[in-house]
Structure 1
């Protein structure tokens, strides 16, 4: 991913409704969610959802697949990982372990910083 693509993706995710839609689709995984399910989960009118899905699609962050009369939307995990890679490229002067996400323990309900996780 290059700067123009990253800028477009970040601009799309820089709006709270679109970020909520994208996070919902990431949570759904490869199976995705039907447009009606997204609208219901986020209490969005159909026209509003359609507008935001169009913006996310244009940014290359989601893909829609027709299933009969309905559309199933999925997060594009390749694009998401490309954005993360772009943001962390050349991280910490060649010490990428310093930039690693926190190690989370769902059982304990806590996360450790990268330095704490290495200790």
Structure 2
């Protein structure tokens, strides 16, 4: 799944943050981020995380539904990749709000002189 518009609305952001809100799912996402764009097979993720196969399958489904990872069938393997544009949009969602309500000191001084 390719996201043409990486901007998120609040509902999509909440879903993304919820998806990485468990330690196990965050571990899977970080493992895939470290692996880069080549991604990893399910077996490789199992080896790197030490999770049980059924547990990993559950977490992968959750992360795919949230749009944070992509899966591609290659032969008999399923390759999992972090969706870097989606993860970047999720990280940027919070940071884009930085200082939005801060009044610049110069504006405060001007307000004081108008009274």
TM range (shorter): 0.7 to 0.9
Match of 1:52, SS?
helix
Deviation at 1:84, TM superposition (A): 1.3
After superposition, residues 1-119 of structure 1 pair within 5 angstroms as 1-93=8-100
TM-score, normalised with respect to structure 2: 0.78
CA–CA distance in structure 2, aligned partners of residues 93 and 79 of structure 1? 23
Match of 2:19, SS?
helix
Q: Which has the larger radius of gyration?
A: 2
TM-score, normalised with respect to structure 1: 0.76
Deviation at 1:27, TM superposition (A): 0.6
Across the aligned residues of Structure 1 and Structure 2, the Cα RMSD in angstroms comes to 1.4
Higher fraction of strand: 1
Q: Structure 2: state its 5+ residue gaps.
A: 1-7, 103-115
Q: Structure 1: state its 5+ residue gaps.
A: 96-119
